Every structure is written in structure tokens, then in C-alpha cells.
Amino acid sequence: MVLTAGRERIGSLLTVLCGAIFLEGVDIAMINVALPSIRADLGLSTGTLQWVMSAYVLGYGGFMLLGGRAADLLGRRRMFLLWLTVFVLFSGLGAIADDGGTLIIARFVTGVAAAFMTPAGLSIITSTVPEGPVRDRALMIYAGTAAAGFSLGLVIGGVLSAIDWRWVFLAPVLFALCLLAAAVRLIPRQPRVARSARDVDVVGAVTITAALVVLVLAVERAPHTSFVSTAAAAVVAIALLTFFVLWERRAAQPLVRLGILRSTRLVHANLTTLLLAAAFFGFQFLAVLYLQEVRGWSTLATSFAMLAIGADAVLAPTLTPRLVARFGHRRVIVAGMLLAVLAYALFLPVGPDWGYAAMFPTMILLGVSFALAYGPLTITATTGVEESEHGLASGLLYTSFQFGAALGLSAVTGALAGGFHVALVVPLISALIAAATALRS
């Protein structure tokens, strides 16, 4: 289904979809910034507060692959609109929550909603805009908007938390309602592929979702639980994944066509994305820890210090497409990852009295590196995929990104036992491996 609509309609559609991915990025960042205010107001324990963060990660990372395939089988427009509505409802529930349990439920379901909505949005772009320079530019804009949402969310969350933390939940509701009204009108209709329950691989869907939920839980909770608990969860996840692979090989209508993983380009793109996210989110966690706990900076000052990373929002749709057109996707991705290596290396000798001028090169280089790498990785991971599997390819990409983020946060948290500078080596190594992986793609 490739539309012959003009550039104006494509531009309007892209605006709506970029708004949704911006909303997702803002939502994650704002909650992270608002956690201290939420804890103080509701009197939450450290464990409960941790679960407010973990619940979203579990919902998002665990259901992403299922969400991507559901878009292919049940209709991308249908999935996008349905789960954007769920996002509105449960973000609203978070705004009126008076206890930790309600807040955890709201964050989990919001994460699930994002897991279905995000791959549906990306696959709408790839199935609507023909392959070529126009789609490449659209995907660059989309990727840049996603990163901008996270970067700006730190600042927006700091401002809203200073007023009242409940606005961190209410503001996305208002924005999402506007997006929903526009999406109903602009997103093209698409027939559903699955006509009955027999067309859906229920066993595969339940198995892979359970496997990913347990795997994300094992990685995300590793620094806070015993080795035995982590190992047990990892064994259960591996067992479920093994069963899933065996089932998919014999299923009449498999949820995931395993042959898609024979694409070396797709596999390398997903692995590079995983490592990029691990390095990026691991470093951001350490940088925030340094600025707030070592330097004593306020939440808002920390947010503004990280804002330079948001340079990718400007560079992704302007500079990156020109570089890709001249040098190709692989070289631009490798250049982006090498810049990330340089950025993390420059931050290694950070001291307790560093001024912001000494930190700025790392922040701006990270913005440039993300702009160069993430958009082309999105293109590489979805190019050449059959239209009937665009949602699956999108789900794989975002699962890799989300799992990488959880892995990076877990790794740096565990490495902190050896000291702050030891933990800073983790993002550097992740970026180095990502650059080597990108070179082979």
C-alpha cells in the first residue's frame, strides 16, 4: 500500500507520527526527572519508586515485538489509534494516583501502549512513503524527533515538577488528545491481514512476550537483586525463547517468520542499535548522577546541562540526509559511533571540580553522533523488508533499542561498585563494539 498522495499530505502525516514519538520520548524523560517529587509527595519507599521506573520498562520492552507484529496483522492505523487512546487514559490515571500501586499500574500499561503504538507509527511511514530519498528524509526526521523528545523532556519535566509533579502526567494527556484528533483524519486506512483468531499465532505471542518480559526484568533488576534471582530469571527467559523458536518453526501462521533474521544487514543494524542505546542511556544515567550528587546541581540545571545532546533534533533532518546521500548509510553510522567513542573518552577523566565548559564537548558530540547513527540505523533495519513485515521489523528495532537501554543502565549501575570512573568505561566499550559491528554490516 504505497500512497500517491502529495508531499503536503505526507508532511501532515509525518507531523502526527513525529508528535507521537516525541510524546513517547518526553514521557520517559519527564517521569525520570519527576521521581524525587513523586516520592516526597506520596511517601513512597525506595523499592516502590524503583518499580515506578521498572513497570514502564517491562511493559515497553516486553510487548514491543508483539506490538510490531500486531500492527502487521491487525492494521497499523487501528493499532496506532487504539493504543494512543490507552496511553491517554492511563497517563491520566497516573495524574490522579494517590498511592504507589496505582502509579505502577498506570506506568506499566502506558509502557504497553507505547510498545504497540511506536512500531505501528514507524511502519506507517515505511508502508506509506516509497523507498528512496523521501522516505530516508522522513525517517531521519522521525528519529531526530524521538531523540529530541527525550532531551527536551528533561527540561520540560524539571519545569513541570517545580510546579506540580502531576503536570508531568497531565501535559502528555493534553498533547496526546490533539494528536489523536489529527491522526483519525490523516492516517490512511489499511485492511487487516488477520481475519480470525486462527490467523494469529497466540502461543507464539504469549511465549515471546513472556520471554521478553522476564529477560528485561532480569537485566533491569540485576543490580538490585541477588545473583541467584537474576540467573534464575535468565534461565527462564532462555527456556521460553528456545520454546518460541521451536514453535515458530512448525507453526502454520508464525508470529515471527524466522527467515527475516537471515538478513545480515537487519541483524547488524539491530545489534548496533542495542549497543548504541546501552552506551547512550548508561552514560546519561552516570552524567545525571555526577551533576546532581557529586556537584549538587539542581534538577533544572542538570536538565539544561544535558540539553546540548538534543542537537540531533536539528542535525538529523538537515545534515544527516546529505551525508548519507554522499557517503552511504554504513559510513555515516560508523562515523556516528566513532564520535560517540570520542565523546565518552573525553568524559573519562571527569573530576569533582570540572566546569561545564569541560563537559560541553562530550554533550555536543553525543548529539552529533546520535544524529549520524540512529536515523540511518532505522533506515537500514527496515529497508528491503516485505511490506507485510514492516511492523515486525519496526518491533525488532525498538525491542533492540529498549533492551539495550535496560542493559546499559544495569551494567553501569553494577559497575559503580568499582567506582564512578570504572562505570564510565562501560559506555565507551559499548560504543567501540557498536562501531566494529557497524563496520561489518
Average confidence (pLDDT) over 161-174 = 90
Average confidence (pLDDT) over 148-164 = 83
Residue 2 confidence (pLDDT) above 50: no
* Gap between the Cα atoms of 100 and 308, Å rounded: 33
Computed over every residue of the chain, the mean pLDDT equals: 87
3-state SS, residue 349: coil
Q: What is the pLDDT of residues 291-342, one digit of tens each?
A: 888 888 887 888 888 888 888 878 888 888 889 989 999 999 999 999 999 9
Q: What is the pLDDT of residues 94-121, one digit of tens each?
A: 999 999 999 999 999 999 999 999 999 9
The closest of 52, 5, 8 to 31, measured between CA atoms, is 52
Burial level of 349, CB count in 10 A (0-12/13-18/19+)?
A: exposed
Pick the CATH number of 7-200+255-440 from 1.20.1250.20, 3.30.70.1060, 3.40.50.720, 1.25.40.10: 1.20.1250.20
* Gap between the Cα atoms of 79 and 366, Å rounded: 33
Q: What is the pLDDT of residues 213-268, one digit of tens each?
A: 888 888 877 877 888 888 998 899 999 999 999 998 888 778 888 888 888 899 99
Residue range(s) of every CATH 1.20.1250.20 domain in the chain: 7-200+255-440
3-state SS, residue 350: coil
> Is the torsion defined by CA of 435, 436, 437, 441 positive or negative?
positive
Contact indicator for 408, 57 with CB cutoff of 8 Å: no
Percent of the chain with pLDDT over 90: 40
